[in-house]
Chains A and B, each alone.
Chain A
Amino acid sequence: GQNIDQPTEMTATEGAIVQINCTYQTSGFNGLFWYQQHAGEAPTFLSYNVLDGLEEKGRFSSFLSRSKGYSYLLLKELQMKDSASYLCAVLDSNYQLIWGAGTKLIIKP
């Protein structure tokens, strides 16, 4: 079966750095997405990785290791507005998105 694993919940402090991990087992791989979802709202696109390595975009970076089936999302200089769920999703061999259940990130002052 296809599976995406990420922690259910994480807590971090405003101004700090947090890393949210995602491991996956899917039938084929055509890239990995990270989406941010605030409570009661739709997911919004953060990043896309298809090659190994780190992609940096402002305060957010995303890393991929295809051989390990592993990705992480790194958030720097945390702000209160970063409190949200972060969803990892993998595009499988049929170009279907397989979603993780999301990691709820709680930011404390």
Chain B
Amino acid sequence: DAMVIQNPRYQVTQFGKPVTLSCSQTLNHNVMYWYQQKSSQAPKLLFHYYDKDFNNEADTPDNFQSRRPNTSFCFLDIRSPGLGDAAMYLCATSKERGTSGEQYFGPGTRLTVT
């Protein structure tokens, strides 16, 4: 089945220790998104890629970086995680940008910072 896959599902890292979250998709969608979601809050868009075109949200901290080496994979790098970065990180895809197409979500990675 075509899908969005995130690894790992649960990640524990130490304060200040860099961590990378990964996302892959078999949907062949052009757009990939990274969201941060804290408990009982709306998902917050961090970045999105339209193909290789990178779009950073204005309020995304510099501590967060992203890479998309090819259509299928996208990575979220947190350079120096703080306690406030503990959250669920959701990867999503959509077929095209600028359309009304729904977004397909991966299962998420729950990040704990100790």
Query: Which A residues are closer than 8 A to B by beta carbons?
Result: 4, 8, 30-31, 33, 40-45, 48, 50, 85, 87, 91, 95-97, 99-102, 104
A85 to B38, CA, bound (A): 13
Closest residue of A by beta carbon distance from B103: A97
B68 CB within 8 Å of chain A: no
B interface size (C-beta, 8 A):
20
A45 to B107, CA, bound (A): 13
B78 CB within 8 Å of chain A: no
A44: chain B residues within 8 A (beta carbon): 105
Q: How far is the CB of A94 from chain B (nearest CB, A)?
A: 8
List the 8 closest A-B pairs by CB distance, nearest first: A42-B105, A99-B42, A45-B102, A31-B100, A101-B42, A95-B98, A42-B108, A99-B43
Q: How far is the CB of A96 from chain B (nearest CB, A)?
A: 7
Q: How far is the CB of B99 from chain A (nearest CB, A)?
A: 7
A95: chain B residues within 8 A (beta carbon): 97-100
Q: Is A41 in contact with B108, judged by CB distance below 8 angstroms?
A: yes
Listed by A's residue number, 16 A-B pairs whose Cβ atoms lie within 8 Å are: A8-B40, A40-B110, A42-B107, A43-B90, A43-B105, A44-B105, A45-B102, A45-B104, A48-B102, A87-B42, A87-B43, A95-B97, A97-B103, A99-B43, A101-B40, A104-B40
